[in-house]
Structure 1
Amino acid sequence: MQEQGWANNSNGTYETRFSNLGEIYYCIASILKYAPFINRIYVVTASQVPEGLSSFPASGLCSEDRIVVVDHTKIFQGIPEALPTFNSLTIETMLWAIPNLSEYFLYFNDDVFLNAPIAKSDLIGADGKIVLRGKMRPIWPLEAKYRLRNLRCKILRNRRIAAHFKTAQMHAAKLAGLSQYLEIGHHPHIIRRRTFCEFFAQNPDVLARQLQHKFRSIDQFLPVGLANHLEIASGNAVVRSPLGCAYLRPQTVNRDLLAQLFHPDIAYGCVQSLDEFEPKWRAKFMRIMRAKFASHLPADARSQVDKDDQAVA
């Protein structure tokens, strides 16, 4: 794959980023179960409708208009040169353009889910300020690493340096004029739509540079991070300690981590690259999730777990 003349070996092109084992079912079921105050769930796709998505309203788990599929062409309307895109950072940058989106919205990756009930007060305080979860860190160590990576990229020439989550947060903090960045984890994020609208209206060049990348680039900012840092810079946010997150990855998954899925004090969960889990751990995880969300999962999602169990047996 090529982008702007470079051979693309970015971590944004790994096959696992395009796999699907029904993670989105758990994400939606968790919202229905643990955040009933969320009025509408928008699923952003590229000319696709996730298999079985309609089974949620068909099973009586929500109203027919509760889950809305939004095609890329809707959020990139007027910017056809940005499509097609295979870049989550590019897509996240345009979420504010979803038609009829609320002023405040909660952003989930499809591998993120609620592990326990949350309240509106966990997201927006009584004073109206956005509640951000993370820790403030100095920018300079990340900036030094970023410069070294860019130097390496020039020396190696036809090699693309993989994008980094923290580097993208650093870029976002600098755009907001801060000398520190908010280090965040893999969990849902509260965003104010107007923050994006106003910033990009005033900085169209920043938006254009961000959208030119078809695949993840080390030069891109984290859209959620930009929203966070703009709110911090304007005094419209309060930073609090992170809520617990059961963070499951192929390299680290074990019984103790799976046990966190039963803990009521761990608000969030994230399962990265479920397709790369050892079969026994993948099956255990899916059985737990099936039981955890049995009351909010349609039959289509439960049957997928049965198939995986049979493959492991």
Structure 2
Amino acid sequence: MKTNSEIDAVITWVDGDDPKWLAKKKQQQQKLHYQVADEQRYRDFNTLKYVFRSLENYAPWFHRIYLVTDQQLPVWLNVNHPCLQIVDHRDYIAAKYLPTFNSNVIDLNLDQISGLSENFILFNDDLVLTKKVQATDFFVDELPKDTAALSPICPEIDGIESAVLNNIKLINSQFTQKQVVGKYWRKFFKWQYGQYNFRTLFLLPYTKFSGFMDFHMPLSLKKSTFSVLRQKFPTYFAQTNQQPFRSNDDITIWLARYWQLCQGQFQPRSAKFGKYLQLSDLKAIKLALKNPKYKALCLNDVALTKEQVQAVNQYLPDLLEQKYPNKSRFEK
């Protein structure tokens, strides 16, 4: 098994402390009477530098890295690195949808980035690699690597489950669970999935999909998948694009992943490829960085108390500096 195509990385990033950006956001909120407490969605713990260091250390084979921003740049960034491409929202999102502070809009239009390779991997600024990875960890025979596991959607207050449910509605309009799993059962049941096989097994009696297990890991995607979805569901894409802030009526980039799974356009990957950790658990983060058992980590921001935010700001930089001590060529 192999992959011959160029693979790009895309990193989305925002500096939530930037005064100009904050003023623009506040103006839009007042205009729309939008009052959701959403600071954690834009909070920056200065992890981006270490994302780049991890990519240079453990995945030097990337063809190009696209950093997607909203008229912002980190002060430490070497913008002249030959493999780096800075992409502003204005470069690929239609002007009528800007400014946007909706990550779903930012993600759903990524395929419109000029020059982006057909096969690309989406990172966020909370995703770091901790071990050497190969291109075949993400694509094999031109197919994305993924872990196919069914899982019910469990809604939470102020969660994103409403948007995820919208994805499932569209999937159920085109597929039945019985047909998909029946056709691709060798991909939906793998020993490498571990306990997640049981989730899929328990949900098999249902005709329609109730949800997929979403792994917060670097996401392997194909541009052509977006083209198909945009043609099939133009109303839903337009509806999401028109929302400057997250809405319960949105669809998300997970729709592209679900589509790839239902089409059987993926190769199975172990569920132990990466680990999801919350920033509130600094002890677990320290252990995972010091003795890496996984190839990738998601250091996810959650609803932190004021004391927890202070602790993260105090200790996280040291933990990341110990793991990634050497400056990358992406730094000045």
Instruction: Supply the distance in 1 between the matched residues of 2:114 and 2:310 (Cα, whole angstroms).
Output: 40
**Cα RMSD after superposing both structures:** 2.9
Aligned residue for 2:322?
291
Amino acid in structure 1 at the alignment position of 2:88: D
Asked if residue 70 in structure 1 is aligned to residue 101 in structure 2, the reply is no
Which residue of 122, 147, 163 maps to 1:168?
Answer: 163
Aligned residue for 1:262?
290
Q: Superposed, which structure 2 residues align to 1:86-97 within 5 Å?
A: 86-97=101-112
* Alpha-carbon offset, residue 246 of structure 1: 4.8
Instruction: Supply the distance in 1 between the matched residues of 2:228 and 2:29 (Cα, whole angstroms).
Output: 29
Amino acid in structure 2 at the alignment position of 1:94: N
Alignment partner of 1:176: what SS? helix
The total of aligned residue pairs comes to: 267
* Alpha-carbon offset, residue 299 of structure 1: 11
**Retained in 2: the 8 A contact 1:163–1:218?**
no
Q: Deviations over 1:239-290 (max 9, x none)?
A: 444223151322xx14244211123321222223499635445433211211
Q: Deviations over 1:119-161 (max 9, x none)?
A: 2222123x443211352124xx65xx5xxx9xxxxxxxxxxx7
Alignment partner of 2:145: what SS? strand
* Alpha-carbon offset, residue 202 of structure 1: 3.7
Instruction: Supply the distance in 2 between the matched residues of 1:265 and 1:20 (Cα, whole angstroms).
Output: 26
Aligned residue for 2:151?
137
**Retained in 2: the 8 A contact 1:106–1:190?**
yes
Which residue of 119, 124, 147 maps to 2:139?
Answer: 124
Aligned residue for 2:246?
216
- Are residues 90 and 289 of structure 1, via their aligned partners in 2, closer, same or farther at CA, if it must alter by over 3 Å? same
Aligned residue for 1:110?
125
**Retained in 1: the 8 A contact 2:29–2:35?**
no
Aligned residue for 1:207?
237
Aligned residue for 1:306?
none
**Retained in 1: the 8 A contact 2:237–2:251?**
no
Asked if residue 230 in structure 1 is aligned to residue 268 in structure 2, the reply is no
Amino acid in structure 2 at the alignment position of 1:101: L
Aligned residue for 2:73?
49
Alignment partner of 1:183: what SS? coil
Aligned residue for 2:196?
none
Asked if residue 8 in structure 1 is aligned to residue 20 in structure 2, the reply is no
Aligned residue for 1:21?
45
Instruction: Supply the distance in 2 between the matched residues of 1:209 and 1:114 (Cα, whole angstroms).
Output: 34
Identical aligned residues as a percent: 25
* Alpha-carbon offset, residue 169 of structure 1: 2.9
Aligned residue for 2:54?
30
Structure 1: gaps spanning 5 or more residues: 58-63, 150-160, 302-313
Instruction: Supply the distance in 2 between the matched residues of 1:167 and 1:269 (Cα, whole angstroms).
Output: 26
Aligned residue for 1:188?
218
Alignment partner of 2:139: what SS? coil
Aligned residue for 1:305?
none
Alignment partner of 2:326: what SS? helix
Aligned residue for 2:63?
39
* Alpha-carbon offset, residue 38 of structure 1: 0.9
**Retained in 2: the 8 A contact 1:135–1:239?**
no
Structure 2: gaps spanning 5 or more residues: 1-25, 176-207
* Alpha-carbon offset, residue 222 of structure 1: 2.0
- Are residues 162 and 6 of structure 1, via their aligned partners in 2, closer, same or farther at CA, if it must alter by over 3 Å? farther
Instruction: Supply the distance in 2 between the matched residues of 1:47 and 1:111 (Cα, whole angstroms).
Output: 20
* Alpha-carbon offset, residue 37 of structure 1: 1.3
**Retained in 1: the 8 A contact 2:45–2:313?**
no
**Retained in 2: the 8 A contact 1:3–1:213?**
no
